[in-house]
Amino acid sequence: MKVEKRINLGNGHSIEFGKATWNEDSISIRNRYPTSTGGFSPRSSSEIPIEDVKIIVEQSISNGYIDDYQLIEIAELCIKKLKAESSAKDFLTNKAEKMAFMKGAASDPLFLEDLKETMEDYKAIDSENI
């Protein structure tokens, strides 16, 4: 892997992005843990295609491996990122499109139930922090 960006997480642990080992036109990500000699363990520092991150996250959520607090953190980060992107920002701030999206969501009983549960969770968290 040709590392193009490294995010240090502390104690030698980092996340690396770069050109994939198997194809320099592909992007990969590596969860890197150091060894005692300063290198990294290929068994605990696997490199995966960036496209697989979405699949891993979806399956982790669908199968209950991500708890509610982590889901909220992920959702907040996604919304923040979308608001910062110009094309998404236009969508999120366009009143007509936003209203059409909300109307579609409002007619989905599963969405409404999820929204209700999320709001109840936020209320519970707020009352705990008071």
Q: pTM to 2 decimals? A: 0.57
> What is the C-alpha separation between 125 and 5, in angstroms, rounded?
36
Let me know the angle formed at the C-alpha of 64 by 123 and 6, rounded to the nearest 5 degrees. 95
Domain-embedded: residue 55 = no
Asked whether the CA dihedral 103, 108, 114, 119 is positive or negative, the reply is positive
Same domain, 43 and 8: yes
Q: Is residue 57 part of a domain?
A: no
Within a domain: residue 58? no
Among 40, 26, 29, CA closest to 3: 29
Q: What is the dihedral of CA 52, 45, 70, 74, to 10 degrees?
A: -50
Q: pLDDT tens across 70-94, in order?
A: 888 888 888 888 777 766 666 666 6
Q: Tell me if 40 sits within 8 A of 32, measured CB to CB.
A: yes
Same domain flag for 45 and 82: no
Task: Inform me whether the pLDDT recorded for 62 exceeds 70.
Answer: yes
In a domain, 93, yes or no: yes
- Is 88 within the bounds of a domain? yes
* Residue at 56 is within a domain: no
Q: How many domains does the chain have?
A: 2
Amino acid 17: pLDDT: 93
Domain span at 9? 2-50
Residue 59 inside a domain? The answer is no
Over its C-alpha atoms, the chain yields an Rg (Å, rounded) of: 20
